[in-house]
Amino acid sequence: MRLTLEDIGYTYGEGTSFAVRALDGVTLSLDRGELVLVLGATGSGKSTLLRIAAGLMPPTEGRVAIDGNALDASRVGGRVGLVFQNPQTQLFAETVEADVEFGPRNLGMSEEEARGTVREALEAVDLDPDEFGPRSPFALSGGEAHRVAIAGVLAMRPEVLLFDEPTAGLDAWGRDAVTGIVASLRAHAGVVVVTHDAEGFLGMADHIVMLADGRPVFTGSREELLADPSCFEQAGLRVPDVLRTQILAEERGIRLGGYTLEVVEAADRMARGRGAGR
């Protein structure tokens, strides 16, 4: 499986006086097992890009394809799964089980097969199916409801998973839980995460695209991004604390020999760099 978005452009209300250019010249590709991170400030076009990648709307310009075949929204049938921002607002059924089962049943899975995939999906998000399955989705904590909503998409066994701001509104533990879940999902699918919060996902990203006003200001690997962190500012994003600390240390004369995203490794390099400077 390979998802490709080629030279994507999108204009809301094209041809009207309300036209808004949301995306311009965005290209990315994703293979199974990979995680592509799309970073951008608010209004930079992230959600628009995901809706296009999910086949929910065709791009105004460019092509979206899976394994070389143009993405056809009517036949995408669960191959691409989109987890919306605040996905818990989409829960609707009487029980967690029924909610998670809705997608796979809708795709035509038998009751028995759907029941199996529901258990698997709940386990994948660290919720015990026997304990949580019979409960009402409206009597869960925010973090639990968020995980149930993710399970609802996983239950369709998509080959491509798209996450819109998956850690928004969660506390530090909730964020760690969700980043851990997202990391583990790469075993079965290609994953795209869009967020303005680089901190949680940068360490696991194979490929990064940074958007500013719908245009890519950086496309490349994590190593390439670490070699030139100035694009965070170009994209109107905060430099992650671990990087900012290293940049400030270098400005104070400590030689680091490159930046890292690992806090402990950063401290070690600073200690070594300080020793070398003496």
Ligand X SMILES: Nc1ncnc2c1ncn2[C@@H]1O[C@H](COP(=O)(O)OP(=O)(O)OP(=O)(O)O)[C@@H](O)[C@H]1O
Which residues bind to Mg ion, rule: CB under 5 A? 46-47
Residues 22-41 that bind ligand X (CB under 6 A): 22, 40
Distance CA 202, CA 185 (A): 16
Q: Which of 48, 179, 246, 260 binds ligand X (CB under 6 A)?
A: 48
From ligand X, Mg ion, none, interface partner of 196 (C-beta below 5 to 8 A by class) = ligand X
Answer yes or no whether residue 46 interacts with ligand X by CB under 6 A. yes
Q: Which of 5, 9, 30, 45 binds ligand X (CB under 6 A)?
A: 45
Q: Which of 43, 180, 220, 229 binds ligand X (CB under 6 A)?
A: 43
Instruction: Decide whether 53 or 140 has the Cβ nearer to ligand X.
Output: 53
From Mg ion, ligand X, none, interface partner of 147 (C-beta below 5 to 8 A by class) = none
Reading the block at residue 235, the tokens are: 């994209």
> What is the closest distance, in whole angstroms, from the C-beta atom of residue 113 to ligand X in the complex?
35
> What is the closest distance, in whole angstroms, from the C-beta atom of residue 168 to ligand X in the complex?
9
From Mg ion, ligand X, none, interface partner of 68 (C-beta below 5 to 8 A by class) = none
Q: Using the rule CB under 6 A, give the single segment among 46-54, 226-234, 239-247, 269-277 that binds ligand X.
A: 46-54
Pairing assessment for the beta strands 20-31 and 2-12 based on DSSP bridges: antiparallel
> What is the closest distance, in whole angstroms, from the C-beta atom of residue 24 to ligand X in the complex?
11
Long-range contacts of 105-109 (CB under 8 A, 24+ apart): 107/77, 107/78, 107/156
Q: How far is CA 47 from CA 44, 51, 182, 255, 272, in A?
A: 9, 6, 18, 39, 42
Instruction: Decide whether 154 or 211 has the Cβ nearer to ligand X.
Output: 211
> What is the closest distance, in whole angstroms, from the C-beta atom of residue 266 to ligand X in the complex?
28
Residues 139-198 that bind ligand X (CB under 6 A): 196
> What is the closest distance, in whole angstroms, from the C-beta atom of residue 41 to ligand X in the complex?
7
From Mg ion, ligand X, none, interface partner of 40 (C-beta below 5 to 8 A by class) = ligand X
> What is the closest distance, in whole angstroms, from the C-beta atom of residue 216 to Mg ion in the complex?
17
Instruction: Decide whether 114 or 235 has the Cβ nearer to Mg ion.
Output: 235
The DSSP code sequence of the chain is -EEEEEEEEEEETTTSTT-EEEEEEEEEEEETT-EEEEEE-TTSSHHHHHHHHTTSS--SEEEEEETTEEP-GGG-TTSEEEE-SSGGGG--SSSHHHHHHHHHHHTT--HHHHHHHHHHHHHHTT--HHHHTTS-GGGS-HHHHHHHHHHHHHTT--SEEEEESTTTT--HHHHHHHHHHHHHHTTTSEEEEEES--TTTGGG-SEEEEEETTEEEEEE-HHHHHH-TTHHHHTT-PPPHHHHHHHHHHHTT---SS--S-HHHHHHHHHHHHHHH-
Q: Using the rule CB under 6 A, give the single segment among 12-20, 99-107, 232-240, 252-260 that binds ligand X.
A: 12-20
> What is the closest distance, in whole angstroms, from the C-beta atom of residue 243 to ligand X in the complex?
21
Positions in the binding site for ligand X (CB under 6 A): 12-13, 20, 22, 40, 42-48, 196
